[in-house]
Amino acid sequence: MRLAASCFLVLGLSVTACAAGPVVVKARRMFDGSSDRLTSPGIVVVVAGKIQAVGTTAAVPEGAQVIDLGDATLLPGFIDAHTHLAQEASDDWKQDMIDSLRKPVAERALDATEYARKTLMAGFTTVRDVGSWDYIDVGLRNAIRDGKIPGPRMLVAVHAIGATGGHCDGTAGFEHGLFGKETGPEDGVANGPDATRTAVRLNIKYGADVIKTCATGGVLSLTDDVDTPQLTQAELDALVDEAHALHRKTAAHAHGATGAKRAIRAGIDSIEHGTFMDDEALDMMKARGTVWNPTLAAGWWINQQMERGRYFPPEIVVKARQAIAAVNATFKKGLEKGVKIGFGTDAGVYPHGMNAVEFGLMVNLGMKPIDALKTATSVDADLLGLADRLGTLEAGKIADLVAVPGDPTVDIHQTEKVLFVMKEGVIYRNDRAASAPAAN
């Protein structure tokens, strides 16, 4: 069922009320997604899922439903450019391993619907999901798009593409032959430029909106060093060339500087993690406008888990400690150089719905709160190729709108307390209307 504009959805139940006409959302302050300061008050007029008017003095159309959120700040719906909605790490690494071998695809897909709901309710109305299994991302994206389940609008990558035995080869670390035949391009594992092209084509054939690659080793994989380059220059050149030819943007998981530079040289659109990038890599990104998603939330969470004494295999602990020790200094250097920083968190490594912690982590390392807010709105909309429809509050754009209490430029952690969520004109959350049976 496709929900009409301005319905109030009670999650898990049904639509209880739908306003037929325009909806006006007001709050004391507003961030439009690109300006350097908030405006006051904030007024957004929504008609048929789109923003019709926005400003401090926008007129209220006759018969409009008016929602006044009081002491709150309106913002464009948040975007997270690095999620994994088909998975979520628990507190028990060994149990997660067993579950990954035991759970049927249907059960994992149903789990994913819960992760998608939590993400949306935290104010993230769009995500770029950069690596999945069993086409769960494609199914989830389609079900959300068709209004069957609540969740963020998704751009999906299908399989992340990497080398045999690399970070994106899910069979690395297991007994030879355990999963039958060796992994190949149909699993996102490719060796040689022709094979990476094949992997790109297969992903797009089966539903990819974006192409994700693993240019270096990773923290949570079992058999590689975290900083090793894992694809050659020729392989990355072919991958990016093929993706761009087929009108798909590209993202590269890259911790080490050598692999990151190969990806940047190949024309990658974003570097994910970027933990050990050196001056040359950061300068190359700055010169080319390559976006960097530092995924600070992932390291923050794994560090906490280790401090709590949670078990990780010793080889992962060593890599995690190296990455956590390096990323803050790299972030500060990138910020100083003016590298374009996006908002990507690696949700799934930590529990879904906590995505907004990334704002506070970036501000702690010196980013201005207003610039942190831009990363998850206008910067990410541009990275996803959706700047004409999303990322700012402007007339004509899709009505994705969230509100947080107080002023997030004074306390960035207000972004972790989202109280209102509208996606395409449909209200999924309004905590300030909690006492009423439904908004109407």
Residues contributing to the site for Zn ion (CB under 5 A): 346
Question: Least distance to Zn ion from the beta carbon of 82, Å?
Answer: 6
Smallest distance from Zn ion to CB 34, Å: 27
Would you say 132 or 198 has its CB closer to Zn ion? 132
Compute the distance between CA of residue 127 and CA of residue 384 in angstroms, rounded to an integer: 9
- Nearest residue (CB) to Zn ion, 346 versus 424: 346
Least distance to Zn ion, CB of residue 167, Å: 9
Select 22 or 353, whichever has its Cβ closest to Zn ion.
Answer: 353
CB nearer Zn ion, residue 8 or residue 292: 292
User: Could you tell me which residues come within 8 angstroms of residue 40 by beta carbon, excluding any fewer than 6 positions away?
Assistant: 28, 29, 30, 56
Please, are residues 126 and 424 in contact by the beta-carbon 8 Å criterion? Answer: no
Task: Give one DSSP letter per residue of 144-180, joined into a string.
Answer: HHTTSS---EEEE-SSPBB-TTSTT-TTTTS-TTTTS
Shortest CB 221 distance to Zn ion, Å: 11
Nearer to Zn ion, 346 or 400 (CB): 346
The residue written with tokens 């200094």 in the block is 329
| Shortest Å distance, C-beta 331 to Zn ion | 17
In the complex, the smallest distance separating the C-beta of residue 4 from Zn ion, rounded to whole angstroms, is 36
Q: What is the dihedral of CA 123, 127, 132, 137, to 10 degrees?
A: 90
CA torsion angle for 9, 13, 17, 22 (degrees, to 10)? 20
Is the Cβ of residue 86 or residue 121 nearer to Zn ion in the bound state? 86
Smallest separation (angstroms) from Zn ion to the CB of 254: 11
CA dist 168 and 188 (Å) reads 8
* Nearest CB to Zn ion, comparing residues 169 and 346: 346
Which residue has the CB atom at the shortest distance from Zn ion? 346
Compute CA distances 204 → 10, 146, 199, 212, whole Å.
35, 20, 9, 11
**Cα–Cα distances in angstroms (integers) from residue 223 to residues 164, 228, 314, 355, in the given order:** 11, 11, 12, 28
* Spatial contact of 439 and 427, defined as CB atoms under 8 Å apart: yes
